[in-house]
Structure 1
Amino acid sequence: MTQTPKPLPTTTSSFRDIIMGGFLYIDKTKSIYELIKDAKGAYFLSRPRRFGKSLLLSTLEELFRGNRDLFRGLWIDSSDYDWETHPVIRLDLSQAPVKTVEDLETNLKRALRRIAQQYQVTLVDGPAHAQFDDLIFALAQEKQVVILIDEYDNPLINNLTNLAEAKRIRDTLKGFYGVIKAMDRYVRIAFITGVSKFSKVSVFSELNNLDDLTFDGRAATMLGITQAELEHYFQDRLPHFAQVEDLTEEALLQKIREWYNGFRFTRVTESLYNPFSTMNLFTKYSFHNFWFESGTPSFLINLIKQQGLDPMQLEELTLREIAFSTYELENLDIIPLLYQTGYLTIKDYDQTQRLYTLAYPNLEVEESFITWLLGSYSELGRSFGEIYIWDLIDALKTQSLDQFFKILSVFFANVPYDLHINREGYYQTIFYLIFMMFGFRVDAEVKTNDGRIDAVVELTDHIYLFEFKLDKSAKEALAQIKSHAYYQKYLLHGKPITCIGANFNTLTRTVDDWATEAVPL
């Protein structure tokens, strides 16, 4: 008789609850063991939200409490791990909202007081960092203490729009985390996790012995789900899912890879699935933007706009290694932040130049993020776009260009007036986002031997080259395509090529003029 698959943990990150509830646990205890077996000191790991950080700390808590029964049948149970017990201080800085440094102090002191009560320790009233010091000292009288801090940066992330308060919060956190260094001889191990990687000078200046695992190969697959793990742990669910999708299992796995795989955080080339999306995918048996819709920091869009980042450049970026370690409140760089929050990921690494190539990890993130960008840049949501996008595509397919630009003008007419920027690139960006939101490949700012094409839309049987002007003329745009022979790059594709020049009128907020010309093949 076929065994019923274990239920999937879509709503809990508690290791104890997962094991006691009979939920599926993807065994990460070997990589955890290899990290902690000889570990001493403080460790830091940055990963995007919903990527298993809380489950990792929950697992470490049960290990250091010596609760071996929870690990029966897992890799570590048959290892030489000593199961020595230690008092554990576990803090989650995302549990209560923090708007001021006073909120932070109150929350930290409340959490420390509850832990102290568990160990029958009485704390003297005082600032949070002093109580933290006292608690470590009291608990370490018999055994060294294990310190686990989850979402260390949450109070900072939630206050990035209030820089003055964020600085006060940062200074308080700096003093609080500095206690770990000062009490080093009483600490067996400290493990700190978060989404962002603020520079050590910024938050961890007093914790200068911190071992950063963010780009370390030891942590490459400690969080997230590998391809092998997906095919092993979800093998009982694949036949049913393939039937639901009317696909072979091989085709289904390929579709799952395209939608949810692709996260990579170190030089190790193996890419990962987001656990949250994967668990929901195999619970609902439906492709959906699970991770993205579970919460997106609103400050990201504001930073993108403030820094003038062109969304068209997010598909493939290069960044030097040092950029990931200079993250400061006063000088937030959006690209490292997009990487740390999971909207971009490592696609390649050049060892010689120490240069990372970043791109969207997968279809879920790309489609969701582009839809989000379009809504933020133009206030055009997906529901609005769905009314017109297929008519827009049909107009291109049938080469009904008058109809195409008539529909396109509807999009631009719905861009709020104060969002219209008098530069060609803004309208080009909206054009790009409209198509990308619905999965149509648009190459923007394509390099040729003699310049750049504004946009290329390639359909199965036709190629369109677009050049945009602002308050000029369509003929001028078309002449630029012809004079630079932008079309030569596509002559070997074996498809008809149409060159299109278009002009955006900032007064009418529409495409008021266009001109086309077919390229002789």
Structure 2
Amino acid sequence: MIQFPYGISDFQRIRSQGMLYFDRTAHIPAIEAAGDQLVFLRPRRFGKSLLLSTLANYYDRHTADDFPALFGDLAIGKNPTAEHNQYLILRWDFSKVSGQGDIEQIKRNLFEHINVAIEEFVEKYRHTLTSAVTILPHNAIASFESLAGVVKNSGHTVYLLIDEYDNFANEILTSDPRDRVRYHDLLEGEGVLKTLFKVIKASASEGKISRVFITGVSPVVLSDMTSGYNVATSIYLDERFNALCGVTQDELTLLLQQILQAHQQDSSKITSILDVMRRFYNGYRFCEVLTLPLVYNPTLSFYFLRHYQQNGDMPRQMLDGNLAMDAGRIRYIVNLPAGAAVIDQILDETRTTPLRQLETRFGVEQLQRVQHDPTYMLSLLYFFGVLTIADVDGMGRLVLAIPNLVIRGVYVEQLKEQTLPRFEDQQTAQYLAENFYQTADLQPVVEFVEKKYFAVFSNRDYRWSNELTVKTAFMTLLFNDLYYIMDSEAVIQRRYSDLLMIIRPNMRRFPLLKDIVLEFKYVSLADAKLTAEQVRNQSREALTALPVVQTAMQAALTQLQDYRQALETKYQQPERLHCLAVVSLGFERVLWEAC
């Protein structure tokens, strides 16, 4: 059986225990050539820590005897660079540093982590160092300076690896967008983090540190560190390193072949399984070169494949709990003054979301712009891994999009929480949705939307089509990736359905679930020549009979007839397919008809 390194980022353990390892060591010469001090950004759970562990084992003098066993059959083992096993390795992991408390508490947390790392370094290399390192409990920066000097005097040099350098700074920013004081104290003037990186820069210029490799999620901290650390080369959008972390679809295909063979399942299932993985997990792109292979999040992929290996079927729950923190990232944007409108734009698949370039300056001076400027919000969502580069348009602008259905579900859930803050309303919404999945009776859902959703949605800052507003309301209420592959604007015979709810392959065995297609139309009150009060006071029958409503309804039904034929041919279960035309009359009433 394949041993998936799920949640494991220890290269030595993975290699010594025969766990799955995708060889990325061919990139090491290019990493060396890129510069002595590098910054590499990727979303959470993308394998950054494993990359650092690989580099640590490759360059560590302490692992020289293990080099054949660890690297012999890998690309770099067959053609190693001159620098392998030449350094003393110092590692910091700032994800272990809490951002809670005042600035003095954060400073103590940081110093404690650095000092513990230095103590472990001293113990590891005690036979190599020729003098003692002075460790000061209340001044870890001085401890680090002492270590760097001792290493140089011992005739060696340091390779410094810093994981999640921006973790606790991001934690401060996303916990409260108005919390500028603690962030300012960390980085501005002689802030502790800025001072630390100034010392790193000085130690490198003095030859005490030969190389620095820094990973993180976003460039939030970089701009405020510039004056203190302006020597690092950013490689996170370099096409050479697009697949440095993550898993490619070709690699997923090979794994699936092995798993299906072990379960004695027909290899023809690979296409449909990969289609599900593509829709739910999709590939990410970390450069502007569209011809390079897309990269899948390894944590999500291994979660899925490990479950299939153990059970011979897909997991019921497609969202791995390890990505729960991504909800907080989106919640941060949603709660910004212009955030809801940006999320609406992202969810509208009929429109592209172009950027001239990704913003990379997110310092304290730009925090106000993050709250109001869509460019900053979209860039930050890209770095958080909840948007990806989908295309480059005819003007050379980056086109950003939601990478997959798992992430779309996170967006939708955040909108639902914002729209329905009361727990009782959320419970009612869930009950109505689950009843709809079984009956395809939209009326209870319609009445709930009219009563609860329109009161909120009609007051929001919409700059896009009102039809999108209605579709967003229903999608927010009905989205469920446990039962469905839910595509908004899904292509059917080169036309686009508004909301397609197709039962997941592993859930089709449950007979109560329905396949559902919804087509939305919007009729403004002005076009209907009615006031909001007049609409509210008329019966549904009278409103449905309005010529302008009939025209919109007929247009939706005609589209649905085309979709039905294509979907019945594809899924071969016409009795489960329900096509519904939905017409919203302003933000007052919703009328619908089954096709």
> What TM-score bracket applies, with the shorter chain setting the length?
0.7 to 0.9
TM-score (norm 2): 0.72
- Asked whether the 8 Å contact 2:522–2:552 carries over to 1, the reply is no
Aligned to 2:519: 464
Q: CA RMSD in A?
A: 3.8
Structure 1 counterpart of 2:151, one-letter code: L
**Conservation of the 8 A alpha-carbon contact between 2:346 and 2:402:** yes
Please say if residues 239 and 249 of structure 1, whose CA atoms lie closer than 8 Å, have aligned partners that are also in contact: no
Q: 1:421 to 1:75 in 2, by over 3 A?
A: same
Residue-by-residue CA offset, 1:17-69 (whole Å, 9 max, x unaligned): 21233321111111134312x45421101111000011111111111104213
**What CA distance in whole angstroms lies between the structure 2 residues aligned with 1:230 and 1:424?**
42
> Which residue of 1 is the match for residue 569 of structure 2?
none
Counterpart for residue 508 of structure 1:
none
Q: Relative to structure 1, is the Cα distance of residues 189 and 248 closer, same or farther in structure 2, using a 3 angstrom cutoff?
A: same
- The CA distance in 1 between the partners of 2:359 and 2:554, in whole Å, is 37
- Residue number in structure 2 paired with 1:29: 25
Q: CA deviation at 1:81?
A: 2.1
CA distance in 1, matches of 2:202, 2:520: 63
**Structure 2 counterparts to residues 140-159 of structure 1, below 5 A:** 140-141=152-153, 142-159=155-172
Once structures 1 and 2 are overlaid, which stretch shifts more, 115-124 or 357-366? 115-124
Deviations 1:355-390 (A, max 9, x none): 111111122222343234323432479875453225
Given the alignment, which residue of 345, 354, 362 partners 1:327?
Answer: 362
- Structure 2 CA distance for aligned equivalents of residues 266 and 299 of structure 1: 22
**Structure 2 Cα separation of the partners of residues 394 and 436 of structure 1:** 14
1:355: which partner in 2? 397
Give 1:230's match in structure 2, choosing from 252, 262, 271.
252
Is the counterpart of residue 309 in structure 1 residue 311 in structure 2?
Answer: no
Secondary structure in 2 matching 1:259? helix
Is 2:44 the counterpart of 1:49?
yes
Matched, 1:84 2:90: no
Out of 192, 195, 214, the residue aligned to residue 175 of structure 1 is 195
Cα distance in 2 for partners of 1:461, 1:198 equals 42
**1:321 Cα offset (Å):** 4.5
Q: Tell me, yes or no, if the aligned pair for 1:41 and 1:209 is still in contact at 8 Å.
A: no
Corresponding residue for residue 422 of structure 1: 459
Q: Is the 8 A contact 1:502 1:514 kept in 2?
A: yes
Paired letter, 1:335: L
Structure 1 498/122 Cα, relative in aligned 2: closer, same or farther at 3 Å? closer
Among residues 339, 359, 371, which one is paired with 2:382 in the alignment?
Answer: 339
Equivalent position of 2:301 in the other structure: 278
User: Which position in structure 2 is the counterpart of 1:74?
Assistant: 74
Q: TM-score, normalised by structure 1?
A: 0.81
Structure having the larger proportion of residues in helix: 2
On the 8 A contact 1:109/1:131 being kept in 2, the answer is: no
- Corresponding residue for residue 58 of structure 2: 63
| Counterpart code for 2:47 | G
Contact 1:388 1:407 in 2 (8 A): yes
The answer (yes or no) to whether the contact 2:3–2:20 under 8 Å persists in 1 is yes
Aligned to 2:150: 138
Alpha-carbon distance in structure 1 between the residues aligned to 2:71 and 2:545: 67
Q: 2:227 aligns with which of 197, 205, 228?
A: 205
Quote the residue 1:433 is aligned against.
476
Which residue identity does 1:362 align to in structure 2? N
Q: Secondary structure at the match of 2:335?
A: helix
Alpha-carbon distance in structure 1 between the residues aligned to 2:357 and 2:547: 43
Provide the rounded CA distance (Å) in 2 between the counterparts of 1:137 and 1:228. Answer: 47
The alpha-carbon distance between structure 1 residues 346 and 473, as it changes in their structure 2 partners (threshold 3 A), is farther
Q: What amino acid does structure 2 have at the position aligned with 1:341? A: F
2:582 and 2:590 in contact (8 A); partners too = no
1:409 matched to 2:431? The reply is: no
**Residue deviations 1:136-178, cap 9 Å, x none?**
2332332221111111111111111122112212333222122
Who is 1:449 aligned against? none
2:417 match: secondary structure: helix
Count the aligned residue pairs: 489
2:11 aligned to which of 11, 15, 19? 15
